[in-house]
Structure formats: structure tokens, C-alpha cells
Amino acid sequence: MSAMELTVLGCSGSGPGPDSPSSGYLVRMDDHALGLDLGNGTLGALHRYVDPFDLDALLLSHLHPDHCADVASLVVYRRYHPTPPYPPTARRLPVYGPLETADRLGALCSASAAERAEEDLSDVFEFRELSERLRVSVGGCALRACRTVHPCESYAVRLEHGGRSLVYSGDTGACDALVELARGADLLLCEATWPHTGPRPPGVHLSGREAGEHAAAAGVGRLLLTHVQVWYDPADLLAEAKAAFDGPVEVVTAGATYRV
């Protein structure tokens, strides 16, 4: 059994930056491939690693565009590819997301209000609702989720495979449920959007220090920081996280792959 590998398709917080698309990740193990979010620009990066037809499933933490905008381009790829490996209608891609996912992505893919009524995307996707009660196997991984603290319905997810565990925070402010979900995980991929000093509206994002505090409280093996906004210096957030968490910490970069 192969180990889980996490590849960063994009990690720029709240929107794409000069060095990275918005948020999106690829998790691979054995013959499986899972997408974790698909923000602006990440579909192009995904092509470097797998054919998008080969995804087992796509998990969307929430429906802010920096986490799901490229789903519109994935629809085009799956629907109009001239030589697909199989008819998309015969193997629809499972898309896990918040309650409104099908409706909101349908609107995203529509060019007009009149067209929207027909744009249900069910020819290419099979929508499944993320919830805290969900206990399923997705692409060879056991999946669990918890609600996070963000202005819209948002989730963190925990993936387990071959005795290893990866937790992705999605977007969140300070969140006890994230600490519980991440307890004892081998790797926590955690958002750290802004520095602890400066304007920090509550219930939206974590600072570098808070990401470190969540990792320490959960007792994770390793912390990877992501979702740093383009106008902040990742080194500052890394220093904050290191002051709060004794284990290994890095700021991820687009294109990097990490063994879980």
C-alpha cells in the first residue's frame, strides 16, 4: 500500500498571486486521486499530475470562488472532451460539498439567468453533501468532516489511508472542532491567512500564531501553512506558527508534494 501524497496545485490565500493559483490540492495514493478544492487556476496545475478524468472525487471545503472557481472549467473538460476515456455520463465525478453546491455551481457555469434553469451539471457530476455525520470511503480514504468558523457553510476534512492521516482546515477562524478533527493527525494542512498583529476580523481566518496553536492543541505530527494572502510575507506567519508549535512547520508552495 502506497503512502498518501499531498500535492499543492495552488495555495495563494483568497485569490491567485504571482507565484500560485488560489487554493487547490491533489491527494494521491495507490491508484487513487482526490481533489481538495479547485480554486482559480488550479485546474491547469492539476493537468500536470493527472488527467482530470482520473479523479476519484472532488471535495469542496466551501463555495468561495478561491476554492471552487475552476469547477466551471472542469465541467467544460468533462462535457466536451472529444475523446474521453469513458462517457462522462457513465462515470460521473462525485463532488462533495456544502448543501448549496449543485445550485451554486450550476449558476457559476451559466451564461445567463435563462440558461441557468437547465444547467444542473448532473451529466458530469454526482453531488454529495458534506456533513459532520458523514462516514464514507472516498478514493481509498476514510473521510470525516467538521464545520469550521467562516462566513459561509465551510468544512475541514480528515482523510485516513494505510494508517496515516491528513487534515485540511479549509478556511476557518479559531475553531475547536478543527482541533478535535485534527487530533493526533500525521499532517495538518492549515490555513494561515494573515499575521496575528494587524486587522483580524473574527470568525473568518487564522493567523500564523493561531494555526500553530491549533496544531499544538491537536498534537499533530507536522504542520503545513497555506492560504497566505498575497500582500503578507509568508516568513512572518511561519515565525508566528513556529513560536506556537514545537513540531515541523513549513509554508507550502505551489507545485510542492509532501508525503503524509
Binding site for Zn ion (CB under 5 A): 64, 66, 171
CB of 171 to Zn ion, least distance (A): 4
When the beta carbons of 3 and 174 are compared against Zn ion, the nearer one is: 174
Q: Are strands 5-10 and 24-29 parallel, antiparallel or unpaired?
A: antiparallel
**Which residue lies nearer to Zn ion by CB, 171 or 240?**
171
Nearest to Zn ion of 66, 160 (CB atom): 66
Q: What is the DSSP string of the chain?
A: -PPPEEEEEE-EETS-BTTB-SSEEEEEETTEEEEEEE-TTHHHHHTTTS-GGG-SEEE-S--SHHHHTTHHHHHHHHHH-SS-SS-GGGSPEEEEE-TTHHHHHHHHT-SSHHHHTT---TTTEEEEE--TT--EEETTEEEEEEE-SSSS--EEEEEEETTEEEEE--S-SS-HHHHHHTTT-SEEEEE--B-SSS---TTT--BHHHHHHHHHHHT-S-EEEE-EETTS-HHHHHHHHHHH--S-EEE--TT-EEE-
Please say which residue, 25 or 77, places its beta carbon nearer to Zn ion. Answer: 25
Of the pair 64, 164, the CB lying nearest Zn ion is at 64
CB-wise, 66 or 210, nearer to Zn ion? 66
Which residue is listed with cell 453531488? 127
Q: Nearer Cβ to Zn ion, position 37 or 240?
A: 37
**Least Cβ distance, residue 187 to Zn ion (angstroms):** 20
Cβ-Cβ contacts under 8 Å for 44 (sequence gap 6 or more):
21
The minimum distance between CB 42 and Zn ion, in angstroms, equals 12
CB of 30 to Zn ion, least distance (A): 30
Min dist CB 229 to Zn ion, Å, is: 9
Closest distance to Zn ion from the beta carbon of 64 (Å): 4
Q: Cell 450550476 appears where? A: 106
CB of 237 to Zn ion, least distance (A): 15
